[in-house]
Amino acid sequence: MTKTLPIRLGLTLWSHPQWQQTLYGRGTSVSERLEKYAQVFHTVEGNTTFYASPSPTTVANWKAATGSDFRFTFKLPKQITHELMLHGCEDLLNQFMQLMAPLHERVGLWTIQLPAAFSPAHLPALKRFCRYFPAGYPLGVEVRHPAFFQKGAEEKQFNQWLVETQADRIIMDSRPVFAAQPDNAAVIDAQKKKPRVPVHAIATGSHPMIRFIGHPDIQQNDAFFAAWMQKLPMWIQQGKQPYLMIHTPDNQLAPELAQRLYQQLQQQVQLPELPPFPGAAANQISMF
C-alpha cells in the first residue's frame, strides 16, 4: 500500500512543448507527455475541463497514463461556474461527473473557480450547488470578489461554511508575478489575467491548495516562498495534505521552479525525494 504523501506537488498543465528537452525527453510524443509528467509530479491542475469537456476516450487515456496514487484537480466547466453562475446546472454537472467517472478515484479536488462577479450575495447559490455532490467528494473553491478578502463578516461567513463542509479554500499567491517588471509579453499577459488578491493562508479542509504564480526569474521566488516554508510544514504536522501548484508567466520553467521550491521545503519537513526529470536523465545517458 502506498504511503500517503505529506504534500502533493504539481503544475498548472502537463503538456508544454518547451519541456521536451527537460521534463519529457527527446522523442516523447504529445500523447506520452502525461505519463512522463506523472513519473515526477504527484498532481496536476486540470484546466482543460474548464474550457471543454473531454471525450470518453480521452478520459480513458488520462487514466491509463497515470498511476493509482496520482491525483488530478479538475476544474468544473466554465459554463457551470462562469456562464450560469451555478444556477440551474444540476443536469450539466451530472453529465460532466458521469463523463469523468473513470477518474473519480484519482481526483484530489474538484475545483470550483468562481469569477470576480461572484460576490457574497451569491453564496446561497454556492451552498445549494455543493449539495449536488455526494458526501465525501473533495471540493475546492476559488473566489475572486474583493469582499472575500476583506476579513469582514462576509469573508468570515464564507470561511466558516467551508470549514463546516470540509471544502478547501483555494489560495492564490500571485505576489511573485506582480513583482516582475512587465517587460515581456508573457509577464504582461499574466499580470492582465491573474487576479491580484491578498494571500489569505487559511486551511478550511484537509487539502489546502496553493496556486503559486511565480516570478520569471526563478531565484526571485525564494523570498515569496519563505512564508510557505513555515505554513506548509505546520499544516502537514496537523495531518493535512497540502496541494502546491506552481505556475510561471509562460510556464516554460515551471518544472524547474517546482523542483527548487520542493527542495527548499525538504529542509523544513521530511519529504520523499522528487524523481529526476525523465528528459534530464535521458540527456545524461546520451552524454556517455
Continuous segment of H or E residues that includes residue 44? strand 43-46
The pLDDT, as a whole number, for residue 4 is 84
Note the helical H segments in 100-243.
123-130, 153-165, 175-179, 185-193, 221-225, 228-237
Nearest to 42 by CA among 243, 211, 271, 238: 243
Relative orientation angle of helices 254-265 and 228-237, to the nearest 10 degrees: 60
Handedness of CA 131, 42, 246, 164 (dihedral sign): positive
For residue 181 the three cell numbers come to: 517588471
Report pLDDT for 136: 85
Which H or E run contains 169?
Answer: strand 168-169
CATH number of 8-286: 3.20.20.410
pLDDT confidence of residue 238 = 96
Residue 130 neighbours by CB under 8 Å, 6+ apart: 112, 139, 165, 167
CA 182/CA 190 separation, integer angstroms: 9
Cell triple for residue 240? 493535512
Backbone region of residue 86 per phi and psi (left: phi > 0; alpha: psi in -120 to 50; beta: other values): left
Cell numbers linked to 266: 525538504
Q: Mean pLDDT in runs of 10 for the chain (288 residues)?
A: 80 94 92 96 95 96 96 97 96 97 96 97 97 92 96 96 96 95 92 92 96 96 96 97 96 96 96 92 47
Cell readout for 142 is: 476559488
Query: Which of 256, 261, 260 is CA-nearest to residue 277?
Result: 256
| Residues with Cβ within 8 Å of residue 21, at least 6 apart in sequence | 279, 283
C-alpha cell at 283: 540527456
Q: How many Å separate Cα 225 from the centre of its chain? A: 16
Please report, for the chain, the start and end positions of each structural domain, with discontinuous segments joined by +: 8-286
Residue of 157, 151, 146 whose CA lies nearest to 197: 146
